[in-house]
Amino acid sequence: MKKINTVTGSVSTDQLGTTLMHEHLLIGWSGWELDCKAPRFERKSALKYSIERLKELKDLGLGTFVDPCPNDIGRDPVFMAEVADAAGVNIVCATGLYKEDLGNTPYFKQRSIDEITEVFVTELTEGIGETGIKAGVIKCATGKDRISEYEDKCLRAAARAAKRTGAPITTHTDEGTMGREQLDLFASEGLDLSRVIIGHSCGASDLKYHTDMLDRGCYLGFDRFGLDFLHPDRLRLAALIGLVGVGFEKQLVLSHDSVACWKGKGLPEMDAKTAKLIENWNPTHIFKNILPALKKAGVSDQKVNAMMVENPRRYFES
């Protein structure tokens, strides 16, 4: 079995167990610390809440929590390590940079692909800053309907760092767009696409979009369950059940993209109708609602195990 980096040290992939592949403990949009009217970030209470949340997930059978927060929107590996240690759950953190419209881009816009690659490689092999905590996955992102010049540079750096270190890549996409183009870019860098998750692919229910990518050997993240205001769960489920039904269960991973705590202000204020559309947006939703729905639809325990246990293990072993 391959050893991978978690925030509390390396573990073998057979120790991952049931895995949520895309969740967050902390997010802070770039510039949050400049907002004097935002709620004060209370680290102690955030830590307590996050530990309780992870303990609840552990009781539901969770073994590993992948938090692919990129470097520029509030990543805190020490916070993650404290949560992992107290909750008894593996947490894998990321190195990487977010999409141009919401990331902290001015500094890295001035850096070359090779310079960004070196940042990623260092955080994977030596550690993040002075913490000694090593990232275990690379995160990159694109916006809706286009890949900007800056995002292209970050994706190429991610591919080069992945080739040098053996670390896998997980991506962000918006509204079911640009996944195919992300794969084209990675392929142009000579990256084995079986080491890539195209994240938030469940933002679309276009099975042609999905199968075009799956046929190239990558994984797809059905990893925004509970975010009904972006795309309804019933459509996510319909697409997922269809893909599993035609034999793609070995290339799909599940999660919510949930956020336990925000630095500064989080989501925009919502009216009651919109707020109801995220009432299930928490990391227990898959265990309590989505897996039972899959079983009711005839998805076997073996196929559920593939998506929740075997695929994360093989992804990190690739």
DSSP string, 122-159: HHHHT-STTS-PPP-EEEEE-BTTB--HHHHHHHHHHH
- Dihedral, 283, 63, 201, 256 alpha carbons, nearest 10: 10
Q: Which pTM does this prediction carry?
A: 0.98
Q: What is the CATH number of the domain that holds 64?
A: 3.20.20.140
Q: How many domains, in total, are found in the chain? A: 1
Phi, psi values for residue 241, rounded to 5° = -60, -40
DSSP state of 8: T
DSSP state of 289: I
pLDDT tens-digit series, residues 209-245: 999 999 999 999 999 999 999 999 999 999 999 999 9
Task: Average the pLDDT over 154-162 and give the result.
Answer: 98
Instruction: With beta carbons less than 8 A apart as the criterion, state whether 21 and 254 touch.
Output: yes
- Chain mean position to CA 42: 24
Tell me the β-bridge partners of 83. Answer: none
What range defines the domain where residue 45 resides? 3-317
Confidence class for position 270, pLDDT limits 50, 70, 90:
confident
Task: Average the pLDDT over 9-26 and give the result.
Answer: 98
pLDDT tens-digit series, residues 278-309: 999 999 999 999 999 999 999 999 999 999 99
Q: How far apart are the C-alpha atoms of 108 and 115, rounded to whole Å?
A: 9
* Structure token digits, residue 157: 């750096």
**C-alpha distances in angstroms, 232 versus 96, 205, 210, 226, 278?**
29, 10, 17, 8, 10
**Res 269: pLDDT:** 84
